[in-house]
Amino acid sequence: MIRVAAVGDLHVGEDGAERWRDALEPVSRDADLLLLAGDLTRVGAVEEAPLLMEALSRVSIPTFAVLGNHDYHSGCQGELAAQLRQRGVQVLEGESRVVRVNGVSVGVAGSKGFGGGFAGACGSEFGEPEMKAFVAHTRILAERLGAALRALEADLRLVLLHYAPVAQTLEGEHPGVHPFLGSHLLAEAVDGARAHLVVHGHAHAGSERGVTPGGVPVRNVAQPVIRSAYRVYCFSGSDSLECASAPSS
Amino acid sequence: MESAYLLIHLREQLAREAGELGIEVELVAGRLLLTGVVVSAERREHAERIARSMSNGHTIVNEIRVVPPAAAQEAEHLP
């Protein structure tokens, strides 16, 4: 049994570090690894980094993170990631890491992801440079995520995002903002490889459960959605680990 | 300011000044209604202060809910 804890959108700031430290304390007993789905800070200020470290100070299981849009807001995302890495957190952007848990290799591929929308309401790389740049950013991150996932060799394959890969987990959000909350390109990247679970955050008013067109379960673990400090997803042992989705080639 | 613009500019200010992107603002019977979820009472009050500073005389109705990180719920078993 592998127990994967996940939460996004902690938004740790000057008023929340101790509360999060206490709320995350049981996670090392409840789970074998922890996934942090971005928006770890309120505005990504360098002053928030020590507060985030305080919030994570009682977590002793392997921890993986992607950054979110809030973590980019102050332009200190590099410093924030460096401090997290120093603390032992694996910060992922278009890359993957493997950890061994109870005899099972668990791989996590991660990316912040970005927006662009879903079937029926998508942006295209057409027109002004700003519009092209918007959609290209998502495409490039999705391509890197797909490559990282295809290269990943692990029994249990997890995908960690901040932005949503499917519209189902946005249910509850105003449909007009869906293009700012995620992109189908992220789901396509996952479905082009194999995975057991995708977790993401970002959509505070969304819903917890969805699935990619290729059949990979998607969970929105934004804290306001799960209404708890983290959710735990359990997978049975390596003998019965079967992946949804197969390589399209 | 026209109320349609007031709501847009207030949402923008909540994002820029407080980093709050999840707060809804609307005018209901002439009153400025704030809804959404934040993690602490301090952030709820901060949002109300911003709204008050831009309220154009509208009464503020703050219905933002505080949802702190509670204990984890039961685990979900995936195949």
- Residue A178's pLDDT is what? 96
Reduced to 3 states (helix: H, G, I; strand: E, B; else coil), residue A17 is: helix
Query: How many angstroms away from the CA of A43 is the closest CA of chain B?
Result: 6
Burial class from Cβ neighbours inside 10 Å (0-12, 13-18, 19+) for residue A139 reads middle
- Residue A238's pLDDT is what? 53
Q: pLDDT by residue (tens digit) across A109-147?
A: 999 999 999 998 899 999 999 999 999 999 999 999 999
Is B72 among the domain residues?
Answer: no
**pLDDT band, residue A249 (cuts 50/70/90):** very low
CB distance B75–A233 less than 8 Å?
Answer: yes
CA distance A243 to A201: 22
| pLDDT above 80 (res A244) | no
Query: How many angstroms away from the CA of A190 is the closest CA of chain B?
Result: 17
- Residue A246's pLDDT is what? 52
- Residue A239's pLDDT is what? 55
B-interface mutation test, from A231, A238, A241, most B Cβ less than 10 A away: A231
What is the overall mean pLDDT for chain A? 94
Segment (H or E) for A34? strand A33-37
| pLDDT above 80 (res A245) | no
Q: Which two tokens stand for residue A177?
A: 């903002």
The proportion of chain A whose per-residue pLDDT surpasses 70, expressed as a percent, equals 95
Q: Are A48 and A71 in contact (CB under 8 A)?
A: no
Q: pLDDT by residue (tens digit) across B25-74?
A: 999 999 999 999 888 899 999 999 999 999 989 999 999 999 888 887 78
Q: What is the mean pLDDT of residues A204-226?
A: 96
CB distance B40–A232 less than 8 Å?
Answer: no
- Which of A88-92, A112-116, B14-18, B51-55 is predicted with the least confidence, judged by mean pLDDT? B14-18
Is B78 among the domain residues?
Answer: no
CA distance A46 to A66: 17
The proportion of chain A whose per-residue pLDDT surpasses 90, expressed as a percent, equals 90
CATH number, domain with residue B59: 3.30.1340.30
- Residue B69's pLDDT is what? 84
Q: Are A112 and A93 in contact (CB under 8 A)?
A: yes
Q: Write the CA distances from A103 to A107, A122, B29, B33, integer angstroms.
A: 13, 42, 62, 53
- Residue B73's pLDDT is what? 77
Is B73 among the domain residues?
Answer: no
Number of compact structural domains in chain B: 1
Reduced to 3 states (helix: H, G, I; strand: E, B; else coil), residue A73 is: coil
- Which of A1-15, A58-72, A155-169, A228-242 is predicted with the least confidence, judged by mean pLDDT? A228-242
CB distance B69–A228 less than 8 Å?
Answer: yes
In A43-186, which ranges are E strands? Answer: 63-66, 90-91, 95-101, 104-111, 117-118, 121-122, 156-161
- Residue A248's pLDDT is what? 46
Partners of A34 in the β-ladder: A5, A63
| Whole-structure pTM value | 0.92
The answer, for A3 touching chain B at a CB cutoff of 8 Å, is yes
- Which of A48-52, A142-146, B2-6 is predicted with the least confidence, judged by mean pLDDT? B2-6
- Residue A197's pLDDT is what? 98
CATH number of A2-239: 3.60.21.10
Query: How many angstroms away from the CA of B43 is the closest CA of chain A?
Result: 8
Segment (H or E) for B40? none
Range of the domain at B29: 3-66
Q: What is the mean pLDDT of residues A168-184?
A: 95
Q: Spell out the residues 6+ positions from residue A32 whose beta carbon is closer than 8 angstroms to its own.
A: A2, A3, A4, A61, A62, A101, A102, A106
Q: What is the mean pLDDT of residues A41-58?
A: 96
- Residue A217's pLDDT is what? 98
Whether the complex's predicted ipTM is more than 0.90 is answered with no
Q: Which two tokens stand for residue B57?
A: 């005389």
CA distance A56 to A144: 28
B-interface mutation test, from A7, A41, A43, most B Cβ less than 10 A away: A43
CA distance A30 to A102: 14
Burial track B8-43 (b if 16+ CB lie within 10 A, e otherwise) = eebeebbbeebbbbbbebeeeeeebbbebbbbbeeb
A134: left (phi over 0), alpha (psi -120 to 50) or beta: alpha
Q: What angle do CA A120, A121, A123 make, to 5 degrees?
A: 125
Domain residue spans in chain A?
Answer: 2-239
